[in-house]
Amino acid sequence: MNRVITSFNTFFLIVLFLSLIFSIFSLPKLNIDEEQSIRVNFYELIQDDNQLFNSSIPDIGIKKETKNLSSNNKEQKVVETAIISKFKINKIDIKNEISKIKLSKEREDILRVSAIIQERISSVWIKPNSLSESLIAKVLINLAPSGEILDFDLIEPSSNNFFNESILTAMNKMTFFEEVLSLDRKLFEKNFRNFNLVFKSSGEIE
């Protein structure tokens, strides 16, 4: 029994071996010259891949899109340049604006101190009641940086002595204008070292 099985196995192996040899020799030969090139249509391969993913990207479309991107970049640069040019402020403009702000602040300080001085003198000035005409008199005042009144003079008296005397009486009551202490020294020297006040019979002081 063992011999029969052994013989059968041997026969099966021989048949299997012969079949393998036959299959090897029956394969078609592919003859390729070493110098011969194989052409592959990559465009078709790309088209096949694009069909799988439902998207086609032809060369013309890519170039067109690149061109559009380049054009958009140029337009963006032009717009950015225009914006920068529009809002660009040179040094001269900055200096001019600073000068305007400074002058505005100086003018505000001058008007503020002048108004206080005028109000203080007006509060002690008692003008004559019997004045039938319009009168004007001008006083020159000399101040120290501390605000002390160094001197004053009636440089343009009116035609009415009572009116003139009332002005001098009011000025004699004043000794300091300490409001000038808040001013810049240059501003003080220019506007309040020596300044004029105009007295009017209407009661106004300018």
Q: Kindly state whether residue 193 falls inside one of the protein's structural domains.
A: yes
- For the chain, what is the domain count? 1
Q: Kindly state whether residue 29 falls inside one of the protein's structural domains.
A: no
Better-scored residue on pLDDT, 29 or 188: 188
Q: How far, CA to CA in Å, does 130 sit from each of 13, 126, 158, 202?
A: 155, 12, 15, 12
Cβ-based neighbours of 50, under 8 Å, separated by 6 or more: 56, 57
Burial class, 191, CB count within 10 angstroms (exposed 0-12 / middle 13-18 / buried 19+): middle
Q: Kindly state whether residue 4 falls inside one of the protein's structural domains.
A: no
3-state class (DSSP) for residue 194 = strand
Residue 150's pLDDT band (boundaries 50, 70, 90)? very high
How many helices (H) does the chain have, and how many strands (E)?
6, 3
**Residues in the chain, overall count:** 206
Residue 38's pLDDT band (boundaries 50, 70, 90)? very low
Burial class, 184, CB count within 10 angstroms (exposed 0-12 / middle 13-18 / buried 19+): exposed
Q: Kindly state whether residue 54 falls inside one of the protein's structural domains.
A: no
Structure tokens at 104: 């505005």
- Alpha helices (H) in the chain, listed in sequence order: 2-25, 42-53, 59-87, 91-124, 161-172, 185-191
Nearest to 201 by CA among 166, 171, 174, 168: 166
Cβ-based neighbours of 151, under 8 Å, separated by 6 or more: 141, 142
Q: Kindly state whether residue 141 falls inside one of the protein's structural domains.
A: yes
Element (H, E) at 28: none
Task: Look up the CATH number of the domain holding residue 130.
Answer: 3.30.1150.10
Q: Kindly state whether residue 114 falls inside one of the protein's structural domains.
A: yes
What phi and psi, each to the nearest 5 degrees, are found at residue 202? -75, -10
Better-scored residue on pLDDT, 184 or 70: 184
Q: How confident is the model over 165-184, as pLDDT tens digits?
A: 999 999 999 999 999 998 99
Q: Tell me which residue range forms the domain holding 163.
A: 93-200
Structure tokens at 32: 């390729």
Q: Kindly state whether residue 160 falls inside one of the protein's structural domains.
A: yes
Q: Kindly state whether residue 184 falls inside one of the protein's structural domains.
A: yes
Nearest to 177 by CA among 205, 206, 143: 143
25-29, 57-61, 101-105, 148-152, range with the lowest pLDDT: 57-61
